[in-house]
Amino acid sequence: MEKILAIDDEEDILNLIRDILSAEGFEVETSLSAEYGITLLERYSPDLILLDLMLPGMDGWEFLRIIKSDDRFKDIPVILLTCRGELRDKVLGLESGAADYITKPFTPDGLIQRIRTLLKEKEDGQNR
């Protein structure tokens, strides 16, 4: 079973994500803050991370920077989930190392599809 780590400061969103992804067969771990997210990373080793950018305390960009410069975590695909839909943010996000970018509100189907695509890519990459 594949493990997903979701980080967002809204509890309802985390619940939604958990419900949607559990119904699809994923194992989901959630965190309300980026700092706690880092702690979870070490304990949990997820296969994919869903990351909101606007977080209290350490923000999403900082978190992304930290994990991408850490050899243990830099290969975990990250999908950015955020309200800011401007092209500039998307490009910046992808350049910072994120694998994909979804704007809120999102459709559950859209989310699931993106996750599956990325996990498959990662798998193909590993098998090569």
Residue with tokens 């880092």: 38
Residue from 28, 32, 27, 26 nearest 10 by CA: 32
Q: How far is the CB of 125 from other proteins (least distance, A)?
A: 30
Of 44 and 106, which CB lies nearer to other proteins in the complex structure? 106
Nearest 5 degrees, angle CA 128-CA 112-CA 77? 45
Which are the contacts of 100, defined by CB distance < 8 A and separation ≥ 6? 77, 79, 80, 94, 114, 118
Question: Which residues contact other proteins by CB under 8 A?
Answer: 10, 12-13, 15-16, 19-20, 23-24, 54, 83-84, 104-109
2 vs 89 by CB, closer to other proteins = 89
Q: In the complex, what is the shortest distance from the CB of residue 45 to other proteins, in angstroms, rounded to a whole number?
A: 27
Q: How far is the CB of 113 from other proteins (least distance, A)?
A: 13
